[in-house]
Amino acid sequence: MNAFRYAQARDAASAMAALAADPRACYIAGGTNVVDLMKEGVERPSLLVDITQLPLRGIDRTATGVRVGALALMSDVADHPAIARDYPVVAQALLASASPQLRNMATIGGNLMQRTRCAYFRDVSQHCNKRAPGTGCAAISGVNRRHAVVGGSEQCICTHASDLAVALLSVDAIVHVRGRAGERTIPLERFHVLPGSTPQRETVLERGDLITAVELPASAAARNSYYLKVRDRASYEFALVSVAAALNVAGGRIRAARVALGGVAPTPWRAHAAEAALLGRPATGGTFAAAAEAATRGMKGYGQNDFKVVLVRRAVNRALQHVGAIA
Amino acid sequence: MDVGKVTRRRFLVRAALPTIAAGVGIGSPRLCALAQAAASVSVLPASGPGPIPVTLNVNGRAHELRIEPRVTLLDALRERLALTGTKKGCDQGTCGACTVLVDGRRVNACLTLAVMVQRKAITTIEGLADGDQLHPVQAAFLAHDGFQCGYCTPGQILSAVALLAEKRATDEASVREWMSGNICRCGAYPNIVAAVRSVAGQPS
């Protein structure tokens, strides 16, 4: 690990100023991602700004839903009664993430900012356009079983590793950010950006921006939601494919639908075509099968990950049957 | 442990300490002062990259160290405090051998910077027994033969202590799920699960 300077921030303004002043400075909260990447030499900050003392830990009910502080721990959010009751998909995704130890360390804001688990990204001896722009993507013709089947580019086909972000996408979460121009809100769907020709850029955040909270609007669909994670072993593993499904069914018809996917794209992936195939239709097996087929539209593997396209169809179908209560 | 005798481990640890102490503290101090921040905001005081004072409260005792900000809690425990019960397995948060309790919650010491857990209560495997009286989870691992090589065992035990406090060990499946952050390459899982369940008062 490279040597670095350390500062503990007492307020957001001084933390942001420290980042603005040093182009190689970096925030640290739970540290589960940045410390790991520093050991690999992928991250080499000159200064770590410890933000854990900032008052951003609360999980509070609001008039329109729940506001989760950026520094709330994954384990605390998963255990919060309002989350378990009104956003089961979020609690389930959190409990399917990492390990109990890591969930006691990692924060909600940090989870959204985590880097990909692509082995080429994590190995500084390999070509990777995200880590070292212009060096090429070793995954496209390499070991790509875990890589993207949609949303990638000739520059990068990594997958986003977060379960939480997929679940949050299915409940229309909104990210609260403090930046140089003050507070602003960003719908989670517009928070992460696809690699295109700039895979090193992963979110719309600007340097020094600080996530302060994630807002979860209450809805009937969010209350009837479910997270399905398919992986190589039963626990403590990243998703091959995951599905966050939220449905509001009234009078046998689907009034609202959200389908989001993990493990398939460089960002958490919203399956709009699947949602369109659900909205207004009867909540039947036939509708769910058609939506599952629609979810795979435009997906294409790179050889070793071709199976993911089939897995998406089956996992979406299963998740919809579960949340549509016909399983 | 017999305090009077010099055990094999103690001898090895004592013999190794001067070498280890000479090996750390490299990394030349660099002049990378913070550039001028905006006039309205006070500049955040930073320390390092050389050794800085860090106080760790381990097993009820305060230890004052001088270590670089990049030293993990795992390395501080093992190489500076000679508390080698906490094991280094993967050193990247994927095996759980380094599990310790920080303010009663289980965490991976390998991904924790020591400088960030000052003023917190750290519990390691060395802090569980009361003199010669083993902690019930330690006794259960012995009674149920919950290990083979033993390398993952301190982490397994700390994780199990936390799991029992969390009251999530309700059946075999829940013990397996909530112990999943601790990998055992010997595959002693059936006996580990039995040990944990026995302390939770469940038949195995």
CATH number for the domain that contains residue B169? 1.10.150.120
Specify whether B12 is located in the same domain as B95.
yes
Range of the domain at B88: 8-19+47-126
Contact assessment for residue A115 and residue A182, using Cβ atoms and an 8 Å cutoff: no
* Res. B15: pLDDT tops 70: no
Q: What is the pLDDT of residues A194-220, one digit of tens each?
A: 999 999 999 999 999 999 999 999 999
pLDDT of B147 higher than 80:
yes
For residue B13, pLDDT beyond 60: no
Residues B152 and B189 in one domain: yes
CB B114 within 8 A of CB B72: yes
Q: Quick one: which of B122, B178, B183, B175 has its CA closest to B153? A: B183
Residues B14 and B92 reside in one and the same domain: yes
| Stretch A3-9: mean pLDDT | 98
Is residue A107 pLDDT above 70, yes or no?
yes
Distance CA A225, CA A220 (A): 9
Final residue in a domain of this structure, among B93, B126, B159: B126
Residue B39 lies in a domain: no
Give the pLDDT band (50/70/90) at residue B202: confident
* Cβ distance of B41 and A13 shorter than 8 Å: yes
In a domain, A264, yes or no: yes
The verdict on B92 and B144 lying in the same domain is: no
Give chain A positions within 8 Å (CB) of B180. Answer: 99-100, 234-236
In chain A, which residue's Cα lies nearest the Cα of B98?
A101
Residue B25 is assigned to a structural domain of this protein: no
Q: Are residue B54 and residue B102 in the same domain, yes or no?
A: yes
Q: Residue A225 corresponds to which tokens in the numbers above?
A: 């939601």
Query: Does residue B69 lie in a domain region?
Result: yes
Closest partner residue to A31 (CB to CB) among B46, B116, B182 is: B116
Q: List the beta bridge partners of residue A250.
A: A253
Q: With respect to residue B31, please indicate whether it lies within any of the assigned structural domains.
A: no
Contacts of B38 in chain A (CB under 8 A): 17, 20
Find, in chain A, the residue whose alpha carbon is nearest to that of B109.
A101
Top residue of A1, A2, A5 to mutate, by most chain B CBs within 10 Å, is A5
- Structure confidence at residue B41 (pLDDT): 58
Distance CA A189, CA B172 (A): 39
Residue B189 above 60 pLDDT? yes
Residue B25 confidence (pLDDT) above 70: no
Cβ of residue B165 closer than 8 Å to a chain A Cβ: no
A175 within domain boundaries: no
| Residues of B (85-104) whose Cβ lies below 8 Å from A | 91-94, 96, 99
Give me the pLDDT at residue B90, please: 97
A255, A277 Cβ separation under 8 angstroms:
no
A-interface mutation test, from B47, B86, B87, B111, most A Cβ less than 10 A away: B111
State whether B61 and B119 are in the same domain: yes
pLDDT of residue A210: 98
CATH number at residue A315: 3.30.390.50
Residue predicted with more confidence, A166 or B7: A166
Using the Cβ of B127 and the Cβ atoms of chain A, whether some distance falls under 8 Å is answered with no
Question: Confidence class of residue B204 from pLDDT cuts 50, 70 and 90?
Answer: low
Looking at the fold, whether B105 and B13 belong to one and the same domain comes out as yes
CB pairs under 8 A between A and B: 135
Domain boundary among B68, B96, B126: B126
Residues A14-53 as b/e (b if ≥16 CB within 10 A, e otherwise) read bbbbbbbbbeebbbbbbbbbbbbbbbeebbebbbbbbbbe
- CB-nearest partner of B49 from A3, A13, A18: A3
Whole-number average pLDDT of chain A: 97
Q: Could you report the per-residue pLDDT of B85-134, keeping only the tens digit for each? A: 999 999 999 999 999 999 999 999 999 999 999 999 999 999 999 999 99
In DSSP notation, B158-195 reads HHHHHHHHHT---SHHHHHHHTTTS--TT--HHHHHHH
Q: Which residue range is the domain that position A11 belongs to?
A: 5-52
Please give the average per-residue pLDDT across A114-142, as a whole number.
98
> What's the structural domain count of chain B?
2
Q: Please, are residues A51 and A71 in contact by the beta-carbon 8 Å criterion?
A: yes
What tens digit of pLDDT does each residue of A236-279 get?
999 999 999 999 999 999 999 999 999 999 999 999 999 999 99
What is the model's pLDDT at position B10? 47
Let me know if residue B131 belongs to a domain.
no
pLDDT of residue B12: 45
Domain count, chain A: 2
**Given B94, B126, B158, which residue is the final one in a domain?**
B126
The pLDDT of A19-43, averaged and rounded, is: 97
Which region among A108-117, B2-11, B24-33 has the lowest average model confidence (pLDDT)?
B24-33
Structure confidence at residue A326 (pLDDT): 57
Q: Which residues pair with A217 in a beta bridge?
A: A65
pLDDT at B42: 65
State the pLDDT confidence band at B183, using cuts at 50, 70 and 90.
Answer: very high
Task: Give the CATH number for residue B95.
Answer: 3.10.20.30
Helix axes A307-323, A285-295, angle to 10 degrees: 150
What percentage of chain B reaches a pLDDT higher than 70? Answer: 79
Does the pLDDT of residue B37 top 90, yes or no? Answer: no
Q: pLDDT tier at A38 (50, 70, 90 boundaries)? A: very high
Residue at A124 is within a domain: no
Minimal Cβ distance to B44: which of A9, A28, A32? A9
Span A183-191, mean pLDDT? 98
pLDDT for the residue numbered B11: 44
Q: What is the pLDDT of residue A114?
A: 98
3-state secondary structure (DSSP) of residue A1: coil
